[in-house]
Amino acid sequence: MAESTTVSNTENLMKYMKLDQRGSVMAEYIWIDGSNGVRTKTKTLDKPVKSYKELPEWNFDGSSTGQAPGDNSDVYIRPVAIFPDPFRGGDNILVMTETWDSDGTPNKYNYRHEAVRLMEANAKHEPWFGLEQEYTILGPDGWPYGWPKGGYPAPQGPYYCGVGTGKVFCRDIVEAHYKACLYAGIQISGINAEVMPSQWEFQVGPCEGIQLGDHLWVARYLLYRVSEEFGAKITIEPKPIKGDWNGTGLHTNVSTAEMRKDGGMKAIEDACKKLGERHKEHIDVYGEGNADRMTGEHETASMDKYSYAVADRGASIRIPRQCAKEGKGYFEDRRPASNACPYRITGIMMETMFGGMDDTDFSKAES
């Protein structure tokens, strides 16, 4: 693996990891910062918990995370979901949280709050989401792991779902992350090597409603955390390598109760038409740097044009051929960039398909 830039000795660490915690529990609070990144801090609990509702609100210095000014820096984190901790084991937990300001309003980077309201208002439609998170593994020097230093490997072709030395890189990180997600209870449905070497993908879902965003963000945290132990870096930049190389996306699969019924193709097509009417609004919240990826090449649609079609990976929206054959199922929005926020994606999807609320507009959310 990559040469580690951290001081770590697993054998020594394990002596301490095995120590009895004497009834105490370590809770790793996770939140999203002002630059779409992940931050965490650990709280000691005096006993195990079974629900996030048993956990206390906490706070952090928002001026150090781009979420608050220095003269009013306290930002509060409210637990919304818990997961078993695959790093510490036992009764220790991971805690997904929302960020709130001191005046009792959601922090401007808290996109989950509005998404929840839209999910609850439209719960009768039973929305299912499945997101395909692509990412690239880099060495400490910031160059894709396994690539020649300052150079390039052979052209794309043998790497997608590849097997064997020279075709895949860093499988150990991918496998470790997969097992960590399963232990944590993440609804991870699979993994595969992607088209560009050192580029991988994992899929989360199907999940109903807001659960998708919670699970994907915790899965991202686990990926970053696992990569620490291997001395590697993870990037979800949409176009990490310029030129004739595939970018990275966050393809979004969507299904509602109406789409899953016999004759559901009409509901799928109706949704596709609505998405076309708000193409720009969706692009605005589908990730930073997406223009470099959505060029109309490398299995992408052009950012400037909207289209939907059956089995076409060059369309904005792809309807799987099997769904078209059966006349029901789901559609895949191929526009979101790999660094997009899943709360924003699923939130605006609900807003476009079923209408917004008086004080909710994802297209105007601050980036």
pLDDT at position 6, please?
56
Q: What is the DSSP string of 127-144?
A: -EEEEEEEEEEE-TTSSB
Tokens of 234: 């993870």
Q: What is the DSSP string of 14-41?
A: HHHHTS--TT-EEEEEEEE-TTS-EEEE
pLDDT values of the chain reduced to their tens digit, one per residue, 367 residues: 555 555 567 788 889 999 999 999 999 999 999 999 999 999 999 999 999 999 999 999 999 999 999 999 999 999 999 999 999 999 999 999 999 999 999 999 999 999 999 999 999 999 999 999 999 999 989 999 999 998 999 999 999 999 999 999 999 999 999 999 999 999 999 999 999 999 999 999 999 999 999 999 999 999 999 999 999 999 999 999 999 999 999 999 999 999 999 999 999 999 999 999 999 999 999 999 999 999 999 999 999 999 999 999 999 999 999 999 999 999 999 999 999 999 999 999 999 999 998 776 666 555 4
Residue 138 contacts residue 144 (beta carbons within 8 Å): yes
DSSP-derived 3-state class of residue 315: coil
Q: How many residues does the chain have?
A: 367
DSSP H or E run through 224: helix 211-229
pLDDT at position 18, please?
92
The span from the CA of 112 to the CA of 362, in Å, is 11
Tokens of 55: 């956990």
The residues with which 59 forms a beta bridge, in sequence order, are 76
pLDDT at position 367, please?
45
Which residues have C-beta within 8 Å of that of residue 99, sequence separation ≥ 6? 31, 32, 62, 67, 75, 76, 77, 106, 107, 109, 110
The span from the CA of 245 to the CA of 183, in Å, is 34
The residues with which 252 forms a beta bridge, in sequence order, are 131, 333
Nearest alpha-carbon partner for 34 in 104, 111, 96: 111
The span from the CA of 351 to the CA of 38, in Å, is 26
pTM tops 0.85, yes or no: yes
The β-bridge relationship of strands 308-310 and 317-319 is parallel
Is the four-CA dihedral 7, 12, 13, 14 of positive or negative sign? Answer: positive
DSSP-derived 3-state class of residue 299: coil
The span from the CA of 366 to the CA of 352, in Å, is 18
The span from the CA of 175 to the CA of 191, in Å, is 9
Instruction: Give strand ranges (E) for 113-249.
Output: 128-138, 188-193, 199-208, 233-235
The span from the CA of 268 to the CA of 263, in Å, is 10
Which residues have C-beta within 8 Å of that of residue 336, sequence separation ≥ 6? 131, 249, 250, 251, 252, 286, 287, 290, 345
The span from the CA of 358 to the CA of 352, in Å, is 14
pLDDT at position 11, please?
82
Q: Which whole-number Å values give the CA distances from 233 to 2, 151, 227, 247, 253, in the listed order?
A: 9, 18, 6, 17, 27
Cβ density class 28-48: b for 16+ within 10 Å, e for less = bbbbbbbebebbeeeeebeee
Which residues have C-beta within 8 Å of that of residue 237, sequence separation ≥ 6? 136, 248, 289, 338, 339
Q: What single letter denotes the amino acid at residue 156? A: Q
DSSP-derived 3-state class of residue 278: coil
The span from the CA of 222 to the CA of 227, in Å, is 8
